[in-house]
Amino acid sequence: MSTQAPAPSRREQILKEAARLFAERGFHGVGVDEIGAAVGISGPGLYRHFPGKEAMLAELLVGISGRLLTGGKRRTAEGEGAGRAPAEVLDSLVEGHIDFALDDRPLIILHDRELDRLRDTDRKLVRSLQRQYVELWVEVVRKVYPRLAEAEARACVHAVFGLLNSTPHLGRPGALPGRAATAALLHRLALGAFEGAHSDGARGDGSRSDGARGDGIHGVDGSGQGR
């Protein structure tokens, strides 16, 4: 154990606790005193590490958006470099996003909830990163499902993000068996959603027995542990 986190470094400690608190009670709902208390120091001691409360949020949001984008770029680059089918790349993107959603729940919450509390410059940066990440997905999705128009594909991507980011909402009760099972379920849900979007909406009045599964391009061995 003990991978390589030798010094949580106070600064990272603060960021982690701030993320948790912001996610729980909202940016405006948390005072600096509470953040300080969460890391053992009190109140304005935080100002030795950050120029202000908002700077913490900004660093969190830029950090997460950047990491999502970086991971997405890496996955698509690897996929294309290895000549893998688009469906496999999409599979990899889904897997990466799920890992993120499951491992960094508080950040995922902040990511689409507290963006508007940032100053213009920071917000623009985060939005730019987010947009790039979305476009990355859109490109891949349109390769896998060419029948989707661009706007449709973008809407699908947003919707699937909403689906994947729903993990925080189901953490409360006994919830799912384990992480792996949850990840697998989310994976199936996400891919199923894309398939559903791609299927022509010519389902009569809801009889929807379906199952025809159109040209299911991806017979991919789903989720197959690329790591």
Q: What is the distance between the terminal CA atoms of the chain, rounded to a whole angstrom?
A: 19
Residue 220 interface partner, choices a copy of itself, DNA, none, CB cut-off 5-8 Å depending on type: a copy of itself
C-alpha separations of 90 from 147, 174, 204 in Å? 16, 30, 30
CB atoms within 10 A of CB 63: 16
Nearest residue to 135 (alpha-carbon basis) of 162, 153, 123, 149 = 153
Contact track, a copy of itself, 28-57, x by CB under 8 A: xx----------------------------
Q: What is the DSSP letter of 167?
A: G
- Integer Cα distance of 203 and 208 in angstroms: 6
CA count, 13 A, side-chain hemisphere, 169: 5
84 is an interface residue for DNA by CB under 7 A: no
Range in contact with DNA (rule: CB under 7 A) among 23-31, 121-129, 141-149, 213-221:
23-31
Q: How many residues does the chain have?
A: 227
Nearest residue to 190 (alpha-carbon basis) of 224, 214, 158 = 158
CB of 6 to a copy of itself, least distance (A): 33
Of 17 and 167, CB closest to a copy of itself = 167
Range in contact with DNA (rule: CB under 7 A) among 52-60, 71-79, 97-105, 161-169:
52-60
String of DSSP letters for 43-56 = GGGGGGT-S-HHHH
Number of residues that bind DNA (CB under 7 A): 20
Contact track, a copy of itself, 50-89, x by CB under 8 A: -------------------------------------xx-
Restricting to residues 90-149, which ones interact with a copy of itself according to CB under 8 A? 91-92, 112-114, 116-117
Pick from 15, 21, 30, 107: which binds DNA (CB under 7 A)? 30
Contact 167, 186 (CB under 8 A): yes
Of 83 and 201, CB closest to a copy of itself = 201
CB atoms within 10 A of CB 94: 24
CB of 131 to a copy of itself, least distance (A): 9
Cα–chain center distance at 74: 15
CB of 8 to DNA, least distance (A): 11
Residue 103 interface partner, choices DNA, a copy of itself, none, CB cut-off 5-8 Å depending on type: none
Residues that bind DNA (CB under 7 A): 10, 28, 30-33, 36, 40-45, 47-49, 51-54
